[in-house]
A = this chain, B = another copy of it.
Amino acid sequence: MATNKLRRQTPQRAVIMEELCASKAHPTAAELFAQVRRRLPRISLGTVYRNLEVLHEDGQIRKLELAGSETRFDGTTTPHYHVRCRACGCVRDLPTPLHDKLVTMPMETGGFRIDGHRLEFHGLCPSCLGETEGVSGTAHSQH
């Protein structure tokens, strides 16, 4: 169950971690790859994926698997929720406190033992809000 693997400290891993922590945009692996490449021009996309996986295993970063899009990564490991813009797809942090009651809340679980949840919010980001003024659309939230 433990992560018993011996980790080596490589420049690739260090730069990936630095660039991820320097970003607030929750980049995808490809975006991070482009960013890291500016400092390590010979790095490969596979290395980025492998290191993100390792860092996630070791609990140093968070993996955001949001509905219907590529996986994004977050250098912040403290728990918080995210909002996603319906229009441009950007992702931002929400300072909303976690709803741990969601897990402990008594409910009919069909025999499941529930021990976690994933919650993401959808909406329009400030800049897309401005551009969509007056456009009527059916906001359909998916649960």
Q: Inside 8 A of A82's CB, which chain B residues have their CB?
A: 143
Instruction: State which of B66, B115, B119, B125 has its C-beta within 8 Å of the C-beta of A119.
Output: B119
In the bound complex, what is the Cα–Cα distance between A30 and B139 (angstroms)?
Answer: 29
Min C-beta distance of A129 to chain B, whole Å: 6
A118 to chain B, nearest CB (A): 5
Q: Among B65, B85, B95, B114, point to the contact of A142 (Cβ < 8 A).
A: B65
Copies held by the complex: 2
Contact among B96, B113, B141 with A107 in the assembled complex (CB-CB below 8 Å): B96
Given contacts A110-B92, A111-B125, contact A118 B138 (CB under 8 A): no
Q: Which 4 A-B pairs have the closest CB atoms?
A: A116-B141, A111-B126, A114-B123, A65-B67
> 7 pairs across A/B with beta carbons < 8 Å?
A1-B138, A65-B68, A114-B122, A115-B141, A116-B121, A116-B141, A117-B119
